[in-house]
Amino acid sequence: DTTLDIAAIRADFPILSRTVYDRPLVYFDNAATSQKPRCVVEAIEKVYYNQNANIHRGVHYLSQVATEAHEEARQTVQAFINAAESREIIFTRGTTEAINLIATSFGETFCNEGDEILITGMEHHANIVPWQLLRDRKGIVLKVVPFNERGELDMEAFSKLLSPKTKLVSVAHISNVMGTVNPVAKIIAEAHAHNIPVLVDGAQAVSHMPVDVQALDADFYVFSGHKMYGPNGIGVLYGKEKWLEQLPPYHGGGEMIATVTYEKTTYAELPFKFEAGTPDYVGSVALGEAIRYMQKFGLKAIGDYEHQLLQYATEQLMKIDGMRIFGTAAEKASVISFLVRDIHHFDMGTLLDKLGIAVRTGHHCAMPLMHTLGIEGTIRASFAFYNTKEEIDALVAAVDRVQKMF
Ligand code: PMP
C-alpha cells in the first residue's frame, strides 16, 4: 500500500537487476551504502564529459559552468534540509570528516581540560573516536547517555548528565544498529535551555525522513552522500552561521584563503573557509541529483513505505524460532539487527550471501554499543525504498533455512 511505483523505481537502479551466484540480488545493506539511480551516475558522467574544469578560480567558460553547477548543488542541499543560508552548507568527504572538523575546530576553540562532551550509548565510531582524539589533546571528559532495553535513550539520564561543564551534545538522529529514531528536537531544546549546542549525526536519517535543521534548531547537522543514493566521497556539514563564524579553519590550503603572505594569512568567507583544496565538484553535482531524485517521490512517502517494510520484516522474522531483534523502539526506521539463537552472525551472513542476500554482519562500527548489548555482533538488514515485500519474504525464508541447518 504505497503511492510509489516500486517497479519503476527499481528500474532506475541497474544494479538491482543483477544476479549473484546465479540468484537475484537482494540488497539489504542500505545502511552501509545505498545503490545509485541512473540519473546520479549520469550526472557524474555529464560533469566529466561536458563541463570538467577546476572551479571558483577560472576565468574561462567551462570553469564558470562547473562553478555554477557546484554552487547550485550547495543550494539544493540547503533547500533539502531547510538551512537558512547556503553558506551554512560545507561540503566534506562525509559524515566522518564533518564530525572530525567540529571535534577539531569547535574542540580547540571552546573546550578546555575537564570540559565535557556528551554523546550517547548508540553512536557510530565516527561520533566517538574524534572526541577521544580531542580528549587526548585537551583533557576533556566524554560522557555517555545510556539507553533502555528497547534501545531508546534514557532521557532522565540525559537531563542529569547535562552539566555546567558540558560544551557540546553530539547524538545520532537514527541508530545505524538498532534503527532507533532519537528525540533530537527534545534533546536540542533541553540542551539549548542550558546554552549548550548540539551536533546531530544524520547519516542514517536524511534518506528516510524529512529533515528541517531550522525546525530542529540543530547547531550542526552532518550526513554522507553515499547513504542517500548519491556518490561516495562527498558529505555535508551544516552549521549555524553564528557557530561557523566563530570556528577556525580545519584544513589549510587553496580555496580557503583571502590573502596569503609568509607573515599572515586571512581566510575566505563561509563556506569556503572550511573547504580547503579543489572541492569535489563532481560529487556535489551528483549529490544534488540524488536529492532531486528523492524529492521526486518525497521523503514522507519514502519513509512511510520503508516503515511498512520494517513492520512486515519484523513480524515475519519474529516467527522464526530463537529470533532475537536488537532495538524495538517505538520510533524506529529501516534497520533490523538480529541474531538467531547462538548462531554466529558471520556464519549466518555468509550463508545468506550464498543465497543472494546481502546483509551486514558484525559490530557495524559500534563496538561500545555491542559491548552494552553483551554481544559481539549482529546480522543487520537495512531497507531502502527500492526494496520489496517479496525480497523480505526471500530474506525470511533464507534465515529460516539457514537456522535449520544448525
Ligand atoms: N554515523 C552513522 C550513524 C553511520 O551510520 C555512519 C556510516 N555507517 C557514519 C556515521 C559514518 O559515515 P561515513 O563512513 O560515510 O563517513
Atom number, ligand 1, closest to the C-alpha of residue 365: 8
* Ramachandran category for residue 112: left, alpha or beta (phi over 0 → left; psi -120 to 50 → alpha): beta
Give 319: exposed, middle or buried? Use CB within 10 Å, 0-12, 13-18, 19+: exposed
Handedness of CA 93, 198, 86, 176 (dihedral sign): positive
Question: What Å distances lie between residue 337 and 107, 192, 247, 325, 349, CA to CA?
Answer: 33, 33, 38, 6, 12
Known catalytic residue at 365:
yes
Which residue has the CA at smallest separation from atom 5 of ligand 1? 176
Q: Give 344-391 pLDDT, tens digit per residue.
A: 999 999 999 999 999 999 999 999 999 999 999 999 999 999 999 999
Question: What Å distances lie between residue 164 and 85, 279, 336, CA to CA?
Answer: 31, 39, 37
The 3 state secondary structure assigned to 3-22 is CCCHHHHHHCCHHHHCEECC
CA of 126 to the centre of ligand 1 (A): 6
How far is it, in rounded angstroms, from Cα 395 to Cα 305? Answer: 18
Which residue has the CA at smallest separation from atom 4 of ligand 1? 203
CA of 15 to the centre of ligand 1 (A): 22
Which residue has the CA at smallest separation from atom 12 of ligand 1? 95
| Cell numbers given for 312 | 512486515
Tell me the best of 175, 222, 365 to mutate to test the pocket of ligand 1, counting ligand atoms within 8 Å of each CB and taking the most: 365
Which residue has the CA at smallest separation from atom 8 of ligand 1? 32
How far is it, in rounded angstroms, from Cα 200 to Cα 170? Answer: 6
How far is it, in rounded angstroms, from Cα 72 to Cα 85? Answer: 13
Atom number, ligand 1, closest to the C-alpha of residue 98: 16
CA of 257 to the centre of ligand 1 (A): 29
Q: What angle do CA 355, 358, 362 make, to 5 degrees?
A: 115
Q: Cα-flanking dihedrals φ and ψ of residue 201, to 5°? A: -85, 100
281: CB partners within 8 A, 6+ apart: 47, 54, 55, 66, 67, 69, 70
The rounded radius of gyration (Å) of the Cα atoms in the chain is 22
Handedness of CA 327, 330, 331, 333 (dihedral sign): positive
Q: Which residues line ligand 1 (CB under 6 A)?
A: 94-96, 124, 126-127, 172, 176, 201, 203-204, 224, 365
Atom number, ligand 1, closest to the C-alpha of residue 174: 3
User: Which residue is catalytic, options 209, 234, 365, 402?
Assistant: 365
- State whether ipTM is beyond 0.90: yes
How far is it, in rounded angstroms, from Cα 319 to Cα 14? Answer: 33
How far is it, in rounded angstroms, from Cα 271 to Cα 256? Answer: 9
Tell me the best of 91, 93, 96 to mutate to test the pocket of ligand 1, counting ligand atoms within 8 Å of each CB and taking the most: 96
Q: Are 112 and 242 in contact (CB under 8 A)?
A: no
Atom number, ligand 1, closest to the C-alpha of residue 93: 16
CA of 173 to the centre of ligand 1 (A): 11
Q: What angle do CA 16, 19, 20 make, to 5 degrees?
A: 115
pLDDT tens, N- to C-terminus, the chain (406 residues): 889 999 999 999 999 999 999 999 999 999 999 999 999 999 999 999 999 999 987 899 999 999 999 999 999 999 999 999 999 999 999 999 999 999 999 999 999 999 999 999 999 999 999 999 999 999 999 999 999 999 999 999 999 999 999 999 999 999 999 999 999 999 999 999 999 999 999 999 999 999 999 999 999 999 999 999 999 999 999 999 999 999 999 999 999 999 999 999 999 999 999 999 999 999 999 999 999 999 999 999 999 999 999 999 999 999 999 999 999 999 999 999 999 999 999 999 999 999 999 999 999 999 999 999 999 999 999 999 999 999 999 999 999 999 999 9
pLDDT of residue 57: 79
User: In terms of residues, how long is the chain?
Assistant: 406
Half-sphere exposure of 77 (CA within 13 A, CB side): 33
CA of 122 to the centre of ligand 1 (A): 12
The 3 state secondary structure assigned to 169-216 is EEEECECCCCCEECCHHHHHHHHHHCCCCEEEECCCCCCCCCCCHHHH
CA of 224 to the centre of ligand 1 (A): 7
pTM for the full predicted model: 0.98
Atom number, ligand 1, closest to the C-alpha of residue 226: 15
Q: Give 299-315 pLDDT, tens digit per residue.
A: 999 999 999 999 999 99
How far is it, in rounded angstroms, from Cα 47 to Cα 69? Answer: 9
CA of 372 to the centre of ligand 1 (A): 20
